[in-house]
Structure 1
């Protein structure tokens, strides 16, 4: 562990390196379905970030989300070929890109980021909508991690588990997400030169419709793929389709990176 960040890795080190960053109240293990599908071509590292499930929010006093991304990437012993990030992790990467950090990756994959329209006022109505969306997403995340077990539990039990998780997260968890959301449209992504794939669900309110169009305008290097069947937690619930989209993108943009063996692997790193 280094300054609250943890690392886990999987596969021979001679392969191109892929680093995976989770979202709020998630952890490095959520990347296993993706690593099982992409680890045959990449040496995969999954970072356990300070905003992991069950953690506290003292990390906010220790640096911005972008600075924690920088701390995490500094732990990787090899040059980074592909950086993959989900939800709040994806937004932290957007802020990291705009922070003036020298280019250190060959390609980016951002899953289910959220993006605020510059024309949308930051008012109490936005706050209330965002809080409602936060509660919905946190409950969906619990169900995604439970997987088939959620189907065997009574709906009331799953709802009670979600409420207890929200009580534990508390206002600090929501505010950390809300802050990075409202500042998303104010960062300058126009000078980014790293090939970027943005993947999400057509019904995900954080990125669908005009939000996706705005991100595409503000980040010209981004290719945006939204599909009806993808959920916010697509890396857990639809890993096969997401891996196909990532592989197709990298085959076009980084063909040399997809040469290699066939044994999947994953390493975890704890921040």
Structure 2
């Protein structure tokens, strides 16, 4: 990873060389491309892997939250990869920005998958509710008043639990304050729009990955999203939360390897398994 401070709103970096197809990894809110470090060496050896640095990263531009068109930034990242990436892996809020981009392109009459050369998607810990009625005042209160807890969880996972609870709490609130009210509003607007997504038009083969103990984006939402997409299945990884690429790196990467292998071979998606088996597919 490039440790020099990058002041560009959007940039991409090639992390591995390969001839088996390009893959672009997209980080979530208040994270950066280091979130993928534990996974990079475990992904397919023949993949040409790129990572993006997006405006909502930890050290990103502070005014990004004042721009309601986050999908424009993400589109820029897709365009920066030479030859375009065939597989997109998007975590947390980036998964929602990606869905928003694909949805808006479709509404405008553009086949976004063809336009960007996308063949497959991996959506990690996405936020999704199928019906507007699933949002209530308690939902807003939770994500507003407990937002710092999500930031603290990211710090805890990245640090490997080496920081004291007091330090984690202080750092979590500092990150929350850096995101700010406008950044939070951009996140929750994306979340509120998920019931209106035209998911039936997002036809790329898709793997939805989540953690069993995720209190930010509950795994039930990943299952619901996979059920709403025409060619998707979900995997809930046991014993981990919102950052499975760190908490369960080997299993996380194994799921992606299997998914890409089946995608290239045209293998049919597996049949639905019950929730208590920690798997749901269609």
TM class by shorter-chain length? 0.7 to 0.9
Match of 1:159 among 154, 159, 169: 169
SS in 2 for 1:77: coil
How far the C-alpha of 1:85 sits from its partner, in A, is 0.5
Question: Which gives a bigger RCO, structure 1 or 2 (Cα 8 Å, sep 6+)?
Answer: 1
Out of 117, 126, 140, the residue aligned to residue 153 of structure 2 is: 140
TM-score (norm 1): 0.84
Task: Please state if 1:89 is matched with 2:94.
Answer: yes
Using a 3 Å threshold, how does the CA distance of structure 1 residues 137 and 62 change in structure 2: closer, same or farther? closer
Q: Which of 63, 69, 74 does residue 64 from structure 1 map onto?
A: 69
Secondary structure at the aligned position of 2:41 is classed as helix
State how 1:1-271 maps to structure 2 within 5 Å. Answer: 4-12=9-17, 14-38=19-43, 40-62=45-67, 64-99=69-104, 100=106, 101-103=112-114, 104-120=117-133, 122-147=135-160, 150-151=161-162, 153-205=163-215, 206-209=217-220, 211-255=221-265
CA root-mean-square deviation: 2.2
CA contact 1:97–1:189 (8 Å) conserved in 2: no
Cα deviation, residue 57, structure 1 = 4.5
- Moved runs in structure 1, 4+ residues, more than 6 A? none
Q: 1:121 offset after TM fit, Å?
A: 5.2
Counterparts in 2 of 1:250 and 1:118: CA distance versus 1, 3 Å: same
Contact 2:200–2:230 (8 Å) recurs in 1:
yes
Residue 269 of structure 2 corresponds to none
Instruction: Give the SS at the match of 1:196.
Output: strand
Pick closer, same or farther for the CA change 1:13–1:247 going to 2, 3 Å: closer
The total of aligned residue pairs comes to 252
1:3–1:158 Cα change, 3 Å: closer
> Please, what TM-score do these two structures have when normalized by structure 2?
0.81
Q: What residue ranges of structure 2 are gaps of 5+ in the alignment?
A: 1-5, 107-111, 267-282
In 1, the alpha carbon distance for the partners of 2:149 and 2:139 equals 15
Q: Counterpart of 1:172 in 2: which secondary structure?
A: helix
